[in-house]
Structure 1
Amino acid sequence: MRRKRIDEDAGWRAPDPKRDGDPDPQFSRRAFRLTGLRLLRWQRWIAILLLLIVAYLMSNPPDASKPAPATDLDPAGRVESWALTEQWLAKGALGADARIVSWNGQSHATVSDGSKDMTLSVNTLIVDSAAGWWRVRTTITPDGRLSGWPSVERLDLAGADDKGDAGTWKDTLGQLTASDILDTTVRKWADAFMGSDSDMLTVLVNDPDPNAWYRAQELGKVTAATIDGGAYLDKGNVDRNERRSDRAALRVTVTVAHADAGDGSAAQSQYSYDLLVADPDGTPRILAWGAPGTGATLREHGNRAPGARPTSGSGDTGAPSEASGGSDASGSGGSR
């Protein structure tokens, strides 16, 4: 009696299930009134579903990730194929000056000698000779010997003077008609780039970085620089009504006269470049150059030569170093 009186005086009493009810059903009924969901029923189904998932994963564990297959860069038969083909070419099989240019992979063939199977490697080599270009296939036995003799197929390659369709750049605004001042700017760029005046080339590009410089290629004297085509690019200040902008791409052919190493007489060679030009209808500036087809994707001032700019006393016409040999200023069109 004393315990009951103390509890009642403190305002606390033991819960009476008959009077107060189970708290879980109470919570479920309240949730149903608020959300319309019979929470207690869903709790049971969710618990059952989770148990089923756990049981399934325990009985069917996921497979461990499989490593990527390794690539064999030196498969059996490759070296033997190269060496034996060189010996065969030395006998004049494909004409004078025959040389292997590349190994282009191998396939396999299975043969039988009546008692057991044998896997042969069929190797493909590309050969250049005075008689033309060839695809040579040699079959190598497991013990590194030729199976029969090499088989050959002549490769019909287009000549350097047989130029394909140049095409047009993608996502341009409209075609550009070159003005006289644009022709003059391109010719000045060609003279500086193909010649030996790196200072003039750097001035023409007008790079905002005072430490940037551009290397001339020292290939010879330019005899012609023609604009084969041009288009306004969808970048810079764009006028969509006029389908123009202040950035354009040009396709340029440069003809250079240089000394022929054979007899000392003058010879001419042609080179093609895509140019990225700023303000093509006003005062044009050449911002970048690259291989044909890259005009729309060239990055402004992407042909900067690496390293410090050479001083006038040291000259910049020396033999190409690592800085110039890998530079995009070589005209290959990549950007740094």
Structure 2
Amino acid sequence: MEFHSNSTVFHCDVVGSDAHTTVLLQEAVDALAVKPGGTYVDGTFGRGGHSRLILERLEKTGRLIALDRDPAALAVAQAIDDRRFSVSHNSFSKIQEVLGQFHVDRVDGILLDLGVSSPQLEDASRGFSFRLDGLLDMRMDMSQGQTAAEWLASASEAHLEEVLRNYGEERFAKQIARAIVAARARQPMVTTHQLATLVATIVHARGRENKQNPATRTFQAIRIYLNQELENLSLALPQCVQMLNPGGRLVVISFHSLEDRIVKRFMRQLASSDGMPRKLPLRANEVRLLSRQTLRLVGKAIRPGANEVESNPRARSAVMRVAERINRT
């Protein structure tokens, strides 16, 4: 297999894997409509569930390129000893650049499985989970960038409130931001339990009681902001469409409304000229409008079934959308 870290190429055979239940495994790979000799991209390798199933459906002439920011995920990817498989240590927001490094001009399908993987949540040292006590890190790539603890120590109250409101849709963003600033003046906020306990105190005091952990929205907001998840998604989607062959599929699995909103609007916008104008013959501006149509929506949004949610509760918020490239204008 090939391994790219930025612009350097390595050939390696490393053994190892982590247990992880892949959400919408069969549905996502089925949606790609894998051609045995095609070229595909798994933009979020994770622990490789989708990648392994794609490889099962490829013949010797097929090819799969995977990307991931998480060094732990890359260690798992490096264990796949398969000449058809290549992996790059990069965000999917750089998909065009990465494919260029592998000398690939167009592909037949791209899969993006967004969000956080179970191994990331279950590793206390990563700081993603409010259930486990660990250092507030929250970086997808722990080799670079600011940790959550560092950001919480320096962000202004106004910025804290903005992030919690915009990325977590947190109703009590103002109160939580004020409490964080007051708490850090007494002692540094460096652990997940410190933050989760503080947020729970504020939320319960404000009277919000539901099945969701009170710290869910705060942790989500900080993680999304630090890792620039929405910005990377917005950068990636146009590149994905540009890199698809006609008939190639783009499959995106999202796990919260902010991601899904971006994906839905993007796909609908590029498929917005799906019908012919009512009046014929076509005028020049109508022809130009049709020429901008690049996607065809494939079916409706797909969600996990009751059995999958029961066996894997983290799947309950997943939404999968599929679109097909129809031209290269």
TM-score band w.r.t. shorter chain: under 0.3
Query: Between Structure 1 and Structure 2, whose CA radius of gyration is higher?
Result: 1
Q: Hey, which of these two has a bigger chunk of strand by percent?
A: 1
TM-score computed with the length of structure 2 as normaliser: 0.19
TM-score by length of 1: 0.18
Q: Which structure would you say has the larger RCO, counting Cα contacts within 8 Å and 6 or more residues apart?
A: 2
